[in-house]
Amino acid sequence: MAATTLYQSVGTLQSCRNNGNSGLCPDYGHVSFRSVSKGFKVDVGLLRGGSFCSRKRSTCVIQASASQATVFDEASAPSSATTSDSNKKTSEAALILIRHGESMWNEKNLFTGCVDVPLTTKGVEEAVEAGKRISNIPVDMIYTSALIRAQMTAMLAMTQHRRKKVPTIIHEESEQAGAWSQIFSEDTNMQCIPVVTAWQLNERMYGELQGLNKQETADKYGSEQVHEWRRSYDIPPPNGESLEMCAERAVAYFTEHIEPQLASGKNIMIAAHGNSLRSIIMYLDKLTSQEVISLELATGIPMLYIFKEGRFIRRGSPPAPTEATVYAYTKGFAFS
């Protein structure tokens, strides 16, 4: 019954999208479902807000403020498995994706790309809010880009986490850096979460547009040309990267380094950027090059996937932490 209710909600979200090029969906009520075989229960209060839904699939992308949330795309119906079946261990892991909070160049409407700028006060608040949303989801490893705005977002988010483990950046840029950052207490090490930084997860390099004002650039080159540079899949800005080029490095890194960690049962958080995360979502959701160019990710809104039996299942965005919404993980994502 609960799973049926949830699928009805998703169907409503899809139908509101089919009436035009874009749309905001109305309010929804409370949905609850349980997967008995995993002992997994989620109670979600669905909030007023907008979701951008593709015409061809049930994918919903957050285009909302930090107080809004989407429904899950797929629910696990109650299982009729026997007690012995329910006790079988299956490989299941959480993957959390977070686009960094607002940066100081986002605020100034400048092309940022690979220029390394920090968060604004609003960006800090968005990162903290993201942390509250994922505070009940276990995190075993964190991957970020090499840029400070993504690293700040990851660190600030983890200050809100229930486990209170300390994220510690792994320094492997030199043998000396690795030796000097070594932790010698086993107990302390057990209370840390390793953070791996990788340039492959950086925002796409905007070439000669970096540092330019977006509106002034549109006035100079024409809005159609700037839109092509920003939103086409395979056309790069002058001396920069296209989304296709960004996807080549980001997805290759994901499949080589991150996916094996998920397959081993580790719960992973990635804090990165609009374009590198769009590239990874394109891979996870099997989007076409035409579908991905319309994909928009809001700053500071986490997205949750479940990796199970070699498949990625989108769970949407964990709801904002309010008295009206409860996001509780029991057996299956139990805290150690």
Domains within the chain, CATH numbers bracketed: 1-78 (no CATH), 92-333 (3.40.50.1240)
Tokens of residue 297, six digits? 């990710």
Determine if residue 105 is labeled as part of a ligand binding site: yes
DSSP three-state, residue 67 = coil
Quote the CA–CA distance of 10 and 17 in Å, as a whole number.
Answer: 11
Decide: 38 and 332 in contact? Cβ < 8 Å: yes
Whether residue 62 contacts residue 53, with contact meaning beta carbons closer than 8 Å, is answered with no
Residues assigned a catalytic role = 100, 203
Mode of pairing for the β-strands spanning 166-169 and 192-197: parallel
Instruction: Please tell me whether 131 is known to bind a ligand.
Output: no
According to the annotation, is 314 in a ligand binding site? no
Prediction pTM value: 0.72
278 is in an annotated binding site: no
Tokens 């949407």 found at: 316
pLDDT in tens, the chain (336 residues): 434 333 333 333 333 334 444 333 333 333 333 333 333 333 333 333 333 333 333 333 333 333 333 333 333 333 333 433 433 345 799 999 999 999 999 999 999 999 999 999 999 999 999 999 999 999 999 999 999 999 999 999 999 999 999 999 999 999 999 999 999 999 999 999 999 999 999 999 999 999 999 999 999 999 999 999 998 999 999 999 999 999 999 999 999 999 999 999 999 999 999 999 999 999 999 999 999 998 999 999 999 999 999 999 999 999 877 644 444 443 345 433
